[in-house]
Amino acid sequence: MVDIAVISGSKSDQLIVDRILGRLKDEGASFEHRVLSAHRNPKELEEYVSGTDAHVFIAVAGLSAALPGVIASQTHRPVIGVPVSA
């Protein structure tokens, strides 16, 4: 069981993800990270969101910023969107 699921849409968002994961680690939160695009991996994203026991999602989104909204449409749990400047 994890507290927080961090999902990024692309490996190019890794610098931002590393900062988030570092902060979560410093705070002692349990977390996991996946790279799942709302556009390239919609089925895998849906399966992950429905299958994880995370309490909160952090969605790191670049360019179209669709990822947080797609995740929010698939769960009642909180979703925090983190924009990445393009």
Order of strands, sheet of 4-8, starting from the edge strand that comes earlier in the sequence: 31-35, 4-8, 56-61, 79-83
Strands, E assignment, the chain = 4-8, 31-35, 56-61, 79-83
CA atoms lying within 13 Å on the CB side of residue 47: 6
58 CB-contact burial (10 Å; exposed 0-12 / middle 13-18 / buried 19+): buried
Output the pTM of the full model. 0.93
Whether residue 63 has pLDDT greater than 60: yes
Q: pLDDT class for 65, splitting at 50, 70, 90?
A: confident
pLDDT of residue 86: 57
Q: How far apart are CA 57 and CA 67, in angstroms?
A: 11
pLDDT of residue 81: 95
CATH no. for 4-83: 3.40.50.1970
Q: What is the pLDDT of residues 14-60, one digit of tens each?
A: 999 999 999 999 999 999 999 999 999 999 999 999 999 999 999 99
